[in-house]
Amino acid sequence: MTAAELRRTARSEPAPFPGRTRIAPGALTTVARAVVATALGVPAAEVSVRLSDRDGGLAVDARTPVVFGTARRDQLVWVDEQRAAIADGVSVQTGAEVSAVTLVVTGVVPESTRRVR
């Protein structure tokens, strides 16, 4: 994560006193991992995320298994549509402009084998 990316993610109203608030790169990655996991319904521990600068915004590259069951007919289309939800979620949580979301499906978890927490 570059300093420019960190500055972009820490935009807020000026504080009445000197100083800054920054989001550490590790925190950005943790937030992105949680957003991807929530959007796809998988445990965050099974999601791998790499962040980079792309086209002036934050690019989210995630490797993750997906849950497939009988509830959705066009499951790959649904997974692809979650990229927009992930971009919105990361943007809302971090204040960063998300320029791209790439998902690499690393495995398929049948819906019936998921553990209830």
Q: The tokens of 53 are what? A: 């600068």
Average pLDDT score over residue span 76-105? 93
Of the pLDDT bands very low, low, confident and very high (cuts 50, 70, 90), residue 67 is confident
Q: Is the pLDDT of residue 80 over 70?
A: yes
For 3-8+21-113, which CATH class? alpha beta
Measured between alpha carbons, how far is residue 51 from residues 8, 75, 87, 94 in Å? 14, 26, 12, 13
Which has more confidence, 23 or 15?
Answer: 23
Give percent above pLDDT 90 in the chain: 51
pLDDT tens per residue, range 25-57: 889 999 999 999 999 999 999 999 999 999 899
pLDDT for residue 72: 63
Residues 6+ apart with CB under 8 A from 24: 6
User: What's the mean per-residue pLDDT of the chain?
Assistant: 83
Q: Where are the domains of the chain?
A: 3-8+21-113
Per-residue pLDDT for 1 more than 90? no
CA atoms 107, 102, 63, 96: torsion sign: negative
pTM of the complete model: 0.75
Across the range 74-92, mean pLDDT stands at 91
